[in-house]
Amino acid sequence: MERAQFLSKLGIGLAAACAGCSLVACGSKSDNPMPSQGSPPPMGSGVLFTADLNNELMSIGNSIIQQGVIIVRVASGNVPGSFAAVQVACTHQGNTINYNTGQGIFICPAHGSEFNKTGQVLMGPATMPLNAYTVIIDSNILTVTA
């Protein structure tokens, strides 16, 4: 069997198999372009992670996602107010949110929910705010706590 013929038959077989699977996989989150990074950490759980500001989050708009939290540099200076730390999972359907530097807000790319830097809902369909986390800075080490 020639390579092209083999690949053609393989493609038809996979297409048939996937057609059956897609019926099972369909659900309310089929329009989830970016699956969430997991559940938000529970409040009061202590230190979640640290970042070295000599190497990370150096420019306004830079972000890191860890432990279900997105932290973004929103202003210059190494003070807690220069950073926003909120849960990365949208409260509408759990999609991963992004930070829009130009608008200064978090936006869910799936359905357009918008949140301010402290996680409050600006525009739905989300109705619940994002959990906001505490930022502590000691020297050039940023610590996010719940």
In this predicted model, what pLDDT tens digit does every residue of 81-125 receive, in sequence order? 999 999 999 999 999 999 999 999 999 999 999 999 999 999 999
The first and second tokens of residue 105, run together, are 């807000």
145, 8, 140: which is closest to 67 by C-alpha? 145
CATH superfamily of 47-145: Rieske [2Fe-2S] iron-sulphur domain (2.102.10.10)
Question: Does the predicted model carry a pTM greater than 0.75?
Answer: no
- Measure the CA–CA gap between 98 and 18, rounded to whole angstroms: 31
In this predicted model, what pLDDT tens digit does every residue of 74-89 receive, in sequence order? 999 999 999 999 999 9
Query: What is the residue extent of each domain of the chain?
Result: 1-30, 47-145
- Measure the CA–CA gap between 22 and 15, rounded to whole angstroms: 10
The first and second tokens of residue 141, run together, are 């080490």
